[in-house]
Structures are given as structure tokens and as C-alpha cells.
Structure 1
Amino acid sequence: MSTLHVLSHSPFGDDRLTSCLRVIGANDALLLTGDAVYALQPGTVPCDALNARHPTLFVLAEDAWARALDIPDTAKAIDYPAFVELSIHYDKVNSWL
């Protein structure tokens, strides 16, 4: 069973990203939204954690652009309609509230 993990909180405020990366499976994906996109900042611990784990990674483009962050080649930028499509594609959606 595949899961889309959705993170929206800053990786610098708590350890949701760390917890998510600990349980994410090979068929799962991670979507960064809101302040979670700060995990894309090169040279930071959250970015290093993402690079070490290599999850299938999606980023809500609007949120990255609003924070003036570049989306790396290791992630796929998506819009809201694509977010809906991802939610349908995966068996479960787990929002890390």
C-alpha cells in the first residue's frame, strides 16, 4: 500500500520531517507544502536528510516561489490540480499535522 506523506510545517520548528523520513516506504512519496518547503534550502540539516533518504519528492510550486526558494532537480514542482491527482494516485494520504 502506497502513501503520500504531506508536510506543511517548517522543518526547523519540530521533527515531523525526521519522523516522516523514518517511516516513508519505497512506494511512498513526500509532498512539501507551506513552510515545509524550507527543507529545500541547500546546506541545511533538513535538506541533507532529504538528500540522504532520496524519497520520491514533490513540492507545491506556489509555496516554494512565495518563499523565493529554488526547487532542486531531485523534486518535482506541482500545482494544486496535480496535488489532487497525487491524492488519488496513492492508496493513502498522511498529513503530518
Structure 2
Amino acid sequence: MVHPEAVRAFGATSAALGTATGAIGGLDAAAMSAAVTAVFGVIGQEFAAAYAIAQANHLQAIGRLAVAHAATAAAAASGVVSFASGDAAGASGVSV
């Protein structure tokens, strides 16, 4: 049995997760890399360069996760609309 309210709540939660995840993904990678460079100095330049690449990849993955959450929210929203219209059509054919 489908409970439309639960599907709507799931969609709203997914949308909120997408927004929050997107905000985290918007962090300034250059500022973070500069902080790492300042901590490790000249001796840690190779580490800092590797860190910058890893951090950029990580932030891209966070962006993809935010998109996935947003897509889940959209799918839940369209699914509940489809279900509700199908349920209403089915109910109209039932006579009591």
C-alpha cells in the first residue's frame, strides 16, 4: 500500500538533503588548499598538490550526490502525483 504523505515526506527530505549537500559542495577548494599549504609549507608542497587534486575530486563527488538527492526528490514528487491521479481514477469507478 502506498501512503502519499510518506512519499511526499520522503521527497521533501531528499530535497533538503540535496540542498544541504550542494551547500557543502560549494566550499572553496582553493582556500582549503591554501590552508593546507600554509600548514605544511615548502616541505609539504607535493602533499599539498596531491591534496588539492583529491579535494577537487571529493567536491565533485559531493556535487554528484547533491544532484542524485535532487533527482530522487523530483522522482518522488512525480511518482506521488501519478499515484494520486491513478488512485482517483480507480476510485471513481467504484460504486458504493
Given the two structures, how large is their TM-score scaled by the length of structure 1? 0.23
Higher strand share: 1
Larger Rg over CA atoms: 2
Q: Which protein, 1 or 2, shows the higher relative CO under an 8 Å CA cutoff with sep ≥ 6?
A: 2
